[in-house]
């Protein structure tokens, strides 16, 4: 049972110092849902910190003020801990222990919840982005929705719906987008950077993707080794778009990328077309996510063997 936005806002208002967390390898929704809250809470005159350790992409860095990110969290300095867009303790990375031991916790999310529980929770998979959930909390805080806050919410909403084209897009997504536009979210700049700007690095990565993808039996995939990353001068985060790009192939019902982030350590990103489920597949590899977008991280003996096992798992997943 979810706690009301009112109750969550009240708890935030009662607290003096708030620590914000989101999932490892943060995407635009992770950043949008936490950063919008960060500025909303800051405008209440409270002490607030946002903890992000992982590298973010160049595009993300142009949209997000990374100067406010802190790395080391001294638990005793905070009386409220909030996590956004994160369904499991594992996805909080190094901050999991600090969060779990926090004296008062709030979990805001739109993934199917695994094992991350707050004292107050709002977890609803019908929301297309967690940024929309943060937005509802911010509205209850009764702070001014500045263009900056509106932009962060819009960034997460737009990105998690892939510019309002994914099957999770619903009437509320458009209603929220309408309200954010009225609040002067910088949609021109966000669209420009998210969808209309291609850096030379992205083009190099796309070249690699289109030269190295395979489409067999409705499954489209691309494998990226540590060596490939080195040659491309890229990080794992730079290749995060591969699976969403591959699912657009005609004839692909499933798509995945496997990226070897460090030797023998693999990160799987899965996508499916409407009507196909990759969450179940990801769960078999210790991961999770949404029905149409999921992922997992694991050690394995080789990228080829992992690919074969993954293809077999997808083939038999509907049975």
Choose one: 29-37, 43-51, 184-192, 307-315; the region binding Mn ion (CB under 5 A): 29-37
Give yes or no for a contact between 67 and 50, defined as CB atoms under 8 angstroms apart: no
Give the interface size with Mn ion as a residue count (CB under 5 A): 4
Burial 128-147 (b: 16+ CB within 10 A, else e): bbbbbbbbbbbebbebebbe
Given 19, 21, 24, 29, the residue binding Mn ion (CB under 5 A): 29
CB of 154 to Mn ion, least distance (A): 14
Choose one: 9-17, 24-32, 88-96, 172-180; the region binding Mn ion (CB under 5 A): 24-32
Q: Decide the pairing of beta strands 17-22 and 47-51.
A: parallel
Query: Between residues 130 and 155, which has the closer beta carbon with respect to Mn ion?
Result: 130
CB of 113 to Mn ion, least distance (A): 13
Q: Is 28 in the site for Mn ion (CB under 5 A)?
A: no
CB of 255 to Mn ion, least distance (A): 18
Query: Between residues 78 and 288, which has the closer beta carbon with respect to Mn ion?
Result: 288
Query: Between residues 48 and 294, which has the closer beta carbon with respect to Mn ion?
Result: 294
Reported as type and span, the H/E element at residue 156 is helix 147-160
Burial 186-195 (b: 16+ CB within 10 A, else e): bbeebeebbe
Write the binding mask 243 to 282 for Mn ion: x where contact by CB under 5 A, - elsewhere.
----------------------------------------
- SS3 assignment for 188-204: HHHHHHHHCCCCHHHHH
Q: Is 108 in the site for Mn ion (CB under 5 A)?
A: no
Please report how many Cα atoms fall inside a 13 Å half-sphere around the Cα of residue 74, on the Cβ side: 3
Choose one: 26-34, 208-216, 249-257, 292-300; the region binding Mn ion (CB under 5 A): 26-34
Q: Decide the pairing of beta strands 254-262 and 265-272.
A: antiparallel
Query: Between residues 85 and 238, which has the closer beta carbon with respect to Mn ion?
Result: 85
Residues of this chain, 144-183, that bind Mn ion according to CB under 5 A: 160
Residue with tokens 């706690």: 3
Q: Is 109 in the site for Mn ion (CB under 5 A)?
A: no
Q: Is 130 in the site for Mn ion (CB under 5 A)?
A: yes
CB of 305 to Mn ion, least distance (A): 30
Measured over the CA atoms of residue 3, residue 120, residue 39 and residue 15, the dihedral's sign is positive
Query: Between residues 160 and 228, which has the closer beta carbon with respect to Mn ion?
Result: 160
Secondary structure class of 226 (helix, strand, coil): helix
Q: Is 85 in the site for Mn ion (CB under 5 A)?
A: yes
Query: The tokens of 256 are what?
Result: 């995945």
Query: Strands, E, within 173-264: which ranges?
Result: 214-216, 219-224, 254-262
- Residues lying near Mn ion in the complex (CB under 5 A) are found at 29, 85, 130, 160
């Amino acid at each position: 049972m979810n706690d009301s936005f009112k109750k969550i806002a009240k708890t935030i208002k009662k607290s003096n110092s708030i620590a914000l967390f989101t999932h490892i390898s943060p995407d635009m929704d992770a950043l949008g849902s936490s950063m919008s809250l960060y500025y909303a809470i800051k405008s209440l005159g409270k002490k607030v910190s946002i903890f992000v350790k992982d590298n973010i992409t160049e595009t993300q860095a142009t949209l997000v003020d990374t100067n406010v990110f802190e790395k080391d969290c001294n638990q005793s300095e905070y009386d409220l801990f909030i996590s956004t867009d994160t369904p499991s303790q594992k996805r909080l990375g190094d901050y999991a222990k600090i969060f779990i031991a926090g004296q008062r916790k709030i979990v805001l999310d739109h993934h199917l919840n695994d094992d991350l529980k707050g004292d107050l929770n709002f977890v609803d998979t019908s929301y297309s982005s967690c940024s929309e959930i943060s937005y509802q909390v911010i509205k209850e805080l009764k702070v001014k929705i500045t263009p900056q806050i509106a932009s962060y919410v819009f960034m997460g909403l737009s990105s998690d719906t892939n510019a309002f084209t994914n099957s999770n897009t619903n009437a509320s997504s458009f209603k929220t987008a309408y309200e954010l536009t009225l609040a002067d979210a910088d949609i021109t700049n966000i669209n420009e950077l998210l969808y209309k700007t291609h850096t030379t690095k992205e083009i190099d990565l796309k070249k690699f993707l289109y030269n190295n993808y395979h489409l067999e039996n409705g499954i489209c995939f691309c494998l990226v080794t540590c060596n490939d990353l080195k040659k491309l001068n890229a990080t794992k985060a730079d290749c995060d778009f591969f699976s969403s790009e591959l699912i657009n192939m005609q004839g692909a019902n499933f798509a995945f990328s496997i990226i070897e982030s460090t030797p023998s350590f693999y990160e799987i990103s899965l996508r499916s077309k409407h009507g196909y489920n990759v969450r179940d597949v990801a769960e078999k590899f210790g991961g999770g996510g949404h029905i149409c977008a999921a992922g997992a991280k694991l050690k394995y003996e080789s990228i080829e063997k992992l690919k074969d096992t993954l293809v077999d798992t997808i083939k038999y997943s509907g049975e």
